[in-house]
Chains A and B, each alone.
Chain A
Amino acid sequence: MNEHDMSTFWHWWVVILTLANIAGIYWLIRWTSKKRPGEVAEGSETGHSWDGLTEFNNPLPRWWLWMFYFTIVFSLIYLVLYPGLGRFAGILGWHSGNMLNVEDSQYQAEMQRAEERYQPIFAAMADQDVASLAEDTDAVTTGRRLYLNYCSTCHGSDAGGARGFPNLTNGVWQWGGTPDAIKTSIADGRQANMPGFGDSLGEEGVEQVAHYVLQMSGRADADSALAEEGQQKFNMFCSGCHGAEGGGMAALGAPALTENAWVYGGSLAAIKDTITQGRAGVMPAFEELLGEERVHVLSAYIYSLDPQ
């Protein structure tokens, strides 16, 4: 709980309830440890009997009573040292991990300890360039751990991608496969946008362009007659981004259409869908979360996946 969030009412509510409870417990212990008139003598039967089992008035050991008092003393000391009484923060100044805005919170301290331990490792790796780091087994292992933690949710644990998330192992790079391009993709993220051409091309036009796209990838299921019709339309609507030869344009994130590698599926139906409705892909930026050094190591791992 954040101390700034607590109103005066709740502050006093907590303080009074807590202290009243402790006082109540103290009173209860005192009250129950008094002998009451009419009580039977110690060691004799109380007269309570259940199925022949009779209850005796046997005393508890006195150290047991001391343990009760000890819990009261413990709770009072705790409430003085640590936050517990409403807005009172405790004289030790301890903060729980949730208080990210507080300098010396437990969370910050743990993060700092981790940083002190790992920073030199990452710093040493960040001194090498991505291409040579991709040859270093330790760096690739570390990079893979980062990958599994931050990237595999979308790109898959084998980095083979998924529908809408590119395959990182086939050597086809939507935004460029150079170390710098990969690092930029991770650090700053990417936004790809393909508009829909369903209205401009019409149903027939979409079919023709789709067959032409299949043909560029050398696919056997492309109909050459339809593809020929499609080529003109491709040149008119698509080549501006994807290039006249379908080679793609890394600067725009327009994928190459000649590799038979598909982010949104390579079936005829999926390609027609893509042309009709367009696609919008987003890769989030990770530099703020991971820091430059980790992004560097991660880039080396991704670069090492390129089969060339």
Chain B
Amino acid sequence: MSESNSSRKKTQATPAEGLETEIYAKHQKIYPRQVHGLFARLRVTAMLVLLGIYYGLPWVQWEGRQAVLFDLPERKFHIFGLTFWPQDFFLLALLLVIAALTLFFFTALAGRLWCGYACPQTVWTEAFLRMERWFEGDRPKQMKLDKAPWNREKILRKTGKHTAWALFALFTGLTFVGYFSPIADLIPRFFTLNTGGWETFWILFYSFATWGNAGFMREQVCIYMCPYARFQSAMFDKDTLIISYDEERGEPRGPRKRGIDHKAKGLGDCIECTLCVQVCPTGIDIRDGLQYQCIGCSACVDVCDEVMDKMGYPRGLVRYTTENAMAGKPAKVLRPRVLLYGTLLLVLMAGFVYGVSARSPVGIDVIRDRNVLYRELPDGQVENVYTLKLTNRHTDARHFEISISGLEGAELDWQEGDYIEVPAGRVIEFPISVRMDPYSLTGASSEIIFEAQVVDQPELSHERSSRFIGPIR
């Protein structure tokens, strides 16, 4: 974190008792209290929408196949009307760059929106927390239950919770593999024990990871493992939207009776109810200032507003704000870094859209036979052999014509009216030879261009260059 952040941080939440001999901290379970309010509703809505997309998408059909299917054995990645081939993989790199820049852009603009509302770690943890509350109640009940001896009720409640978690996790794992193996077929196969080794492994592994991450690791993933949590501060500045406690207004904090004039007693607006600490899913105290553990979920904002309403104080003691706004300076939304990230993002997105739409539905690759430089024919001509790979990404068969250009006097082993049929979505390869009079060659190695064109559709063509090798004279 920046200087201002670290110097404002007073203490770690982790207590030091009982750790005399170990420098490793025992994990303290965090029991976030349930919150209601505007941001809680937004977070739940985001959770429902995102989980809905994740679990629902594999069931959507498109032209007789699963709409989103990453078919690894066939090396075809279907996303609705688009089919991506391994040759299109550079688009994935572009997409990942766009995703990273989007993260940068929104971080500079609005802080950790991603962490608070959209990150899978947050979303699944939220879902698991809800299930936990069905069985064990809210924070005080959970804490009491964990301290209680193992009696019948505790066993029943814990078993219920873990059963719900396990089923939900298994459904998550099945859905994940359902993106790679048609889901309508996968699920019955899984329950009749007919899945293949890797399918079974990934279903169970993904289920286990969901159960572990959302059930147990939770905030520790954000605090100890997530690289974004560590480097996001590089995108922050004093105009970035953060969640902050209004120290000037709140301090000095202290308990008081409702309805008294606290200002006369020298107290600030913070009544020290500690609810903001109790609702925090990462176990920090927002009143200590901006901390890298804060995932920006705004649970403390909701709960503090509720308390302020009850006390009859104005809302916003803990609120979305910026460091500059807190210091009374004007807020600036359009800063150089926001403009820079935004421009880069627009350029890359335009490039991506162009890249996707400009993909040729037909393709040709030329592989020159490497073992033979050239072949002498009885009539004195020299011949080079090439292996052509024709790709047809269409959903029906196409007839291809092959032609060469760029080398004067070269003759392709191809008759007028010949064509090669390539079935739908296939690549076929075949050898073809080019011959010419060596006395017409200008050098030992010359460029030659092969063009594959769909019969009667000149706009569907693709070309590749290769070399023609002849004798050195």
With both beta carbons as reference points, the residue of chain A lying nearest to B220 in the complex is identified as A61
- B56-64, B97-105, B251-259, B369-377 - the one binding chain A: B369-377
Alpha-carbon distance between A262 and B380 when the two chains are bound, in angstroms: 11
Q: Name the CB-closest residue of B to A153.
A: B371
CA distance A43 to B380 in the complex (A): 87
B19 contacts A59, C-beta separation under 8 Å? yes
Nearest chain A residue, comparing its CB with the CB of B25: A59
Question: Do residues B25 and A60 form an inter-chain contact, with CB atoms below 8 A?
Answer: yes
What residues of chain B lie closer than 8 Å to A54, measured between beta carbons?
A: 6-7
Q: Is A62 an interface residue (CB 8 A)?
A: yes
A66 smallest CB distance to B (angstroms): 9
Residues in A150-188 with C-beta less than 8 Å from chain B = 152-154, 156-158, 160-163
How many angstroms from the CA of A289 to the CA of B387 in the assembled complex?
26
Taking the closest CB of chain B, its distance from the CB of A265, in whole angstroms, is 5
Whether B27 contacts A63 by the Cβ 8 Å rule is: yes
- Answer yes or no: A142 CB below 8 A from chain B CBs: no
A261 part of interface (Cβ distance < 8 Å): yes
Instruction: Give the residues in chain B near A35, CB-CB below 8 Å.
Output: 20-23
- With a CB–CB cut-off of 8 A, which chain A residues contact B7? 54
Contacts known (A42-B19, A156-B369, A160-B385); A58 close to B378, Cβ less than 8 A: no
**B353-384 interface bits toward A, Cβ cutoff 8 Å, 1 = contact, 0 = none:** 00000000000000001011001111110010
Taking the complex as formed, is B16 at the interface, i.e. its CB lies under 8 A from any CB of chain A?
yes
Q: Which residue of A lies closest to B370 (CB)?
A: A153
Determine if B224 is an interface residue (Cβ-Cβ < 8 Å). Answer: yes
Given contacts A53-B6, A64-B224, are A154 and B376 in contact (CB under 8 A)? no
Does B224 contact A33, Cβ atoms closer than 8 Å? Answer: no
Write the chain B residue with the least CB distance to A41. B16
B439 to chain A, nearest CB (A): 12
Contacts of B375 in A (CB 8 A): 156, 160-163
Contact assessment for B12 and A61 in the assembled complex, using a CB-CB cutoff below 8 Å: no
Rounded to whole Å, the gap between the CB of A255 and the closest CB of chain B is 13
Q: CB within 8 Å of A: which of B1-42?
A: 3, 6-7, 9, 11-12, 14, 16, 19-27
Q: Is the pair B371, A156 in contact by a Cβ cutoff of 8 Å? A: yes
Return the contact of A34 from the options B21, B376, B385, B432 (Cβ within 8 A): B21
A65 within 8 A of B: yes
Query: Is B21 in contact with A58, judged by CB distance below 8 angstroms?
Result: no
B431 is an interface residue with CB less than 8 A from chain A: yes
Judge whether A65 and B12 touch: CB under 8 Å: no
Interchain CA distance A156-B385 in the complex, whole Å: 7
Interface presence of A52 (CB below 8 A):
yes
Which single residue of chain B is at the shortest CB-CB distance from A54? B6
Q: Mark A256-273, 1 if CB is under 8 A from B, else 0.
A: 000011100111001000
Bound-state CA distance A217–B379 (Å) is: 11
What 0/1 readout, one digit per residue, does chain B (418-462) give for beta carbons within 8 Å of chain A? Answer: 000000000000011100000000000000000000000000000
Interface residues as binary, B91-110 with A (CB distance below 8 Å gives 1, 0 otherwise):
00000000000000000000
Q: Decide if A122 is an interface residue (CB 8 Å cutoff).
A: no
A107 on the B face (CB < 8 A): no
Known A-B contacts A33-B22, A157-B369, A157-B431; A58 and B6 likewise in contact (beta carbons under 8 Å) = no
Near A by CB (< 8 A), chain B positions 368-410 give 369, 371-372, 375-380, 383, 385, 387
Q: Number of A interface residues at 8 Å Cβ cutoff, please give it.
A: 38
Pick from B9, B371, B378, B431: contact of A217, CB below 8 A.
B378
Q: Contacts of B385 on A, CB cut-off 8 Å? A: 156-158, 160
Contact in complex: A262, B12 (CB < 8 Å): no
Closest Cβ of chain B to A8, distance in Å, is 41
Residues of B within 8 A of A161 (CB): 375
- What chain A residues lie within 8 Å of B12 (beta carbons)? 42-43, 56, 58-59
On chain B, the residues within 8 Å of A43 by CB distance are 11-12, 14, 16
Chain B residues near A261: list those with CB within 8 A. Answer: 378
Which residues of chain B are within 8 angstroms of A156 by Cβ–Cβ distance?
369, 371-372, 375, 385, 431
Identify which of residues 17-72 in chain A touch chain B, using a CB-to-CB cut-off of 8 Å: 32-35, 41-43, 52-54, 56, 58-65
Q: A43-B12, A59-B25 are in contact. Are A162 and B371 (CB under 8 A)?
A: yes
Which residues in A have their C-beta under 8 angstroms from that of B26? 62
Complex interface: chain A residues within 8 A of B371 (CB): 152-154, 156, 162
Q: Cβ of A158: which chain B residues have Cβ within 8 Å of it?
A: 369, 385, 431-433
Q: How far is the CB of A92 from chain B (nearest CB, A)?
A: 19
Question: In the complex, how many angstroms separate the beta carbon of B149 from the nearest chain A beta carbon?
Answer: 24
6 more CB-based (< 8 A) A-B contacts, given A35-B20, A42-B16, A62-B27: A42-B23, A43-B11, A54-B6, A153-B371, A156-B371, A160-B383
Interface on A for B, CB 8 Å cutoff? 32-35, 41-43, 52-54, 56, 58-65, 152-154, 156-158, 160-163, 217, 219, 260-262, 265-267, 270
Of all A-B residue pairs in the complex, the 5 with the closest CB atoms, nearest first, are A158-B431, A59-B25, A162-B372, A43-B12, A266-B378
Can you show 6 pairs from A to B with CB atoms below 8 A apart? A42-B23, A54-B7, A160-B385, A160-B433, A260-B378, A266-B376
